[in-house]
Amino acid sequence: MCGIVGIVHFGDLTEGGSAETRVRRMAEVGKHRGPDNTGFYFNQDVVFGHNRLAIIDLDVGSNQPMTSPCGNYTLIFNGEIYNYLEIKDKLLRESSFEFKSQSDTEVVLAAYMEWGASCVEHFNGMFAFAVYDQKEGRVDVFRDRLGIKPLYYHLAEHGVVFASEIRGVIASEMFKPALSVNGFEDYLRYSTVHSPNTILKDVYMLEAGTMLSITRSEVNKKRFWDLNSNYSKQSEGHSKDEIKRTIKDLFYKSVQRRLVADVPFGAFLSGGIDSSAVVGAMTEISDKPVSTFTISFAEEEFSEAKYARMIAEKFGTNHTNIQLNPNDFLEQIPTALAAMDHPSADGPNTYVVSQATKAANITMALSGLGGDEVFGGYDIFKRATSLNGKKWLFSFPPIIRRGMGNMLRRVKPSVSSDKISETLNQKYLELAYYFPINRQIMLENQLRDFLSSDISSSNSVFDFATEGIEYGTNGFNVPFLSKVSYLEMNTYMQNVLLRDVDQMSMAHALEVRVPFLDHELLEYVHGVEDAVKFPHSPKQLLIESLGELLPNEIVNRPKMGFVLPWKHWIRKELKDYCKERIDSLSERKPVNGQKLQAMWKEFLNGGKTGWAQIWSLVVLDNWLNANNVEY
């Protein structure tokens, strides 16, 4: 796991600094991602920088940038290729490449030399990397299939600048950071910005499973993998028992691949189904003791410590329970916000557990992230299945449905009632129409009131859903619950969970691996029919596939997540800080300051405005100010 930065320049950059000066500045900003080594490559057209966090082959011979023996190809690579030894064996048999290291980096370089851009089809892993082909005058940039590793870029007048972090792109000083109107509206809706857009104008995130090819004459973008185009039909005609055996085999194989490391490793353990499954598989596979880490609170309503301890005792892990009181957590919020690369309301919890894990001399940790999305753990899976059987509701004229929604709002005012009413107002009762409402923290009527000008962008999740599953040929025949998974993975998971894990773990130079997002496991599960996967209880297919690995107390426990008393903190300990940020945001041009102040007052008085709306706005203003972003 590392950080990469680069500038591909086709003109004079001396005003404001040379390309070399700019890339050195970009690398310095991202040094926390790779404290073990910083290296550079300089060419008249290309400058690369690399910060290394050594995980596999700690020798200096694996430092980057890495140039091929012939001198033509230069690579900078962030991530891990879990099947690199298999690929290396294949290359030794089929190519003339002579390996000089034991690293997966050299395997990526050799694979690109042998297979070109199609090398990514051979990789099982998480990655963002760039390769410069000097002879062809081309730089190819890739991002992994699921978007686990980030890659941001800006198309400048005389070239392209890219980096693992958006702050690295800003540090190039090839543009003045300005607020993206579309990104801002997306953030107001979802407390995040969905790729390819970011919160900054003209700065983009390379989409998952996509490559950029950069030459002097053009920049081309091409998708090399999408789950709806690559899912497996292997489960068709197989019994449920056969499907469960296959899922178990694929899951264990995924965990085993992710235990390859030359540094101490551990696991995040909440005591939920997903993290417990990962820890259980790790202990059965590994010949080394597994270290596990849990964040807990003295208050029982917020603590999962007893469940985590139960799993730790069952599997005999070296368990560390980090108990925090609210003041401990509050003290770390400013540093967590300072570590935030792209604004997000959900990041501080990951920051705290990553900090504690790294402090225990752990450099790599496994996480249960992705289990809910892949195996139907969220309420939206049940809700979508239920709505799919209620299309008769839309036999009523729109005016009747609108009246039903308005009545519900009056009788039972709540965020849930607002979302039901919004669903009834949709054109169709189809997944692409009601799914975007699921995670919205500001609905369309609220958004119109909040802005000082008209809404300028469409709903990004709706646009993605209609293209990806409603009208897109690739997603049309996918099982219904897999469509829900597809949307969750490509929206909330990629643009909130994975982004937060990357930016907050890498703030401490900690690598996090996610076994549930192995693409071979995903491709198989995505093709399993609803009759087998139907979520009559959360993640039932996963639980049944793992057999006796998980105790009943874990399987049947209430789902908690990482719950914190935010609404109390914002009204008390964080009140002054939040008010300062709310006042600052009220002065920004796109915001209706009067409406924002009314929302703040309503929240303080216990009204309908929720803490999530307020906190996301506080985080946004903090980030905009910290990065000197103009409107």
Backbone φ and ψ of 27, nearest 5°: -65, -35
The region that residue 60 occupies, defined by phi over 0 for left and psi between -120 and 50 for alpha, beta otherwise, is alpha
Which among 74, 198, 238 is positioned nearest to 620, based on CA atoms? 198
Which CA distances in Å does 8 have to 115, 151, 171?
Answer: 23, 15, 15
Quote the crossing angle between the two packed helices 431-438 and 415-424, to the nearest 10°: 160
The angle at the Cα of 367, spanning 56 to 255, to the nearest 5 degrees, equals: 60
How far apart are alpha carbons 141 and 127 in whole angstroms?
10
The region that residue 546 occupies, defined by phi over 0 for left and psi between -120 and 50 for alpha, beta otherwise, is alpha
Q: Which helix (H) or strand (E) holds 320?
A: strand 318-324
Backbone φ and ψ of 147, nearest 5°: 75, 35
The angle at the Cα of 274, spanning 273 to 280, to the nearest 5 degrees, equals: 85
First to last CA, the chain: 34
Which among 150, 169, 60 is positioned nearest to 105, based on CA atoms? 60
Coil, strand or helix: which one is 412?
A: coil
Q: What is the token pair recorded at 593?
A: 């300051």
How far apart are alpha carbons 88 and 541 in whole angstroms?
35
Indicate if 2 belongs to the active site.
yes
**Options 2, 70, 119, 578, the catalytic residue:** 2
Number of other residues whose CB lies within 10 A of the CB of residue 68: 18
How far apart are alpha carbons 558 and 555 in whole angstroms?
9
Number of other residues whose CB lies within 10 A of the CB of residue 335: 13
**DSSP strands (E only) in 60-202:** 66-67, 73-81, 125-133, 138-143, 152-156, 159-163
Q: What is the token pair recorded at 322?
A: 């980090």
Catalytic residue IDs? 2
